[in-house]
Amino acid sequence: MDRESQPYAEVDVSRRPLIVVRVVGPLTKVGFATYLSELERAIGANGRVALRVHGGSLGIFPPSYVRESAEWLRTHDTLFTRNVTGAAFILDSPVLRMALRAILWAIPAPFPMVAFASQREADAWLAGCLSATA
């Protein structure tokens, strides 16, 4: 499989209302577009959801992908406002967590998004997001 056709992320809906996203491959145009499409489908299914995104040792996003993500969020604002209670990003790097916080401050999302160092912290926060809408 060539680099461009490798998946960027897996979107797991088996734990719904928790949707788990794992970054598994290189950041490519095709992989990223496929990921956004799969995530949109998962969020668009019935009911409120929370997102847990495992970025692992993900690198810094190039500005073009930051802009694409921001535009995607704006385009789907109604869907996200209606269906997403919150998104927790689990990132290994403190620098990446700080960068994500800066991006989220500059480009507010239509739902709460927070960066965490561990899954335990993320799950505790997401449980609160889900219970607040139950």
pLDDT digits (tens, 9 = 90+) for 23-50: 999 889 999 999 999 999 999 987 899 9
User: What band does 104 get if pLDDT is binned at 50, 70 and 90?
Assistant: confident
Output the six-digit token pair for 94.
């403190």
Structural contact between residues 114 and 88, judged by C-beta atoms closer than 8 angstroms: yes
Q: Classify the phi-psi angles of 47: left when phi > 0, otherwise alpha if psi is within -120 to 50, otherwise beta.
A: left
Look up the pTM and report it: 0.89
> Quick one: which of 74, 109, 89 has its CA closest to 20?
89
Instruction: Tell me how long the chain is.
Output: 134
Q: For residues 27 and 22, what is the distance between their CA atoms, to the nearest angstrom?
A: 13
Does pLDDT of 14 surpass 80? Answer: yes
Over residues 67-94, the mean pLDDT reads 90
Element housing 82 (H / E): helix 77-83
- The architecture of the domain spanning 3-132 is 2-Layer Sandwich (3.30)
pLDDT at 85 > cutoff 70: yes
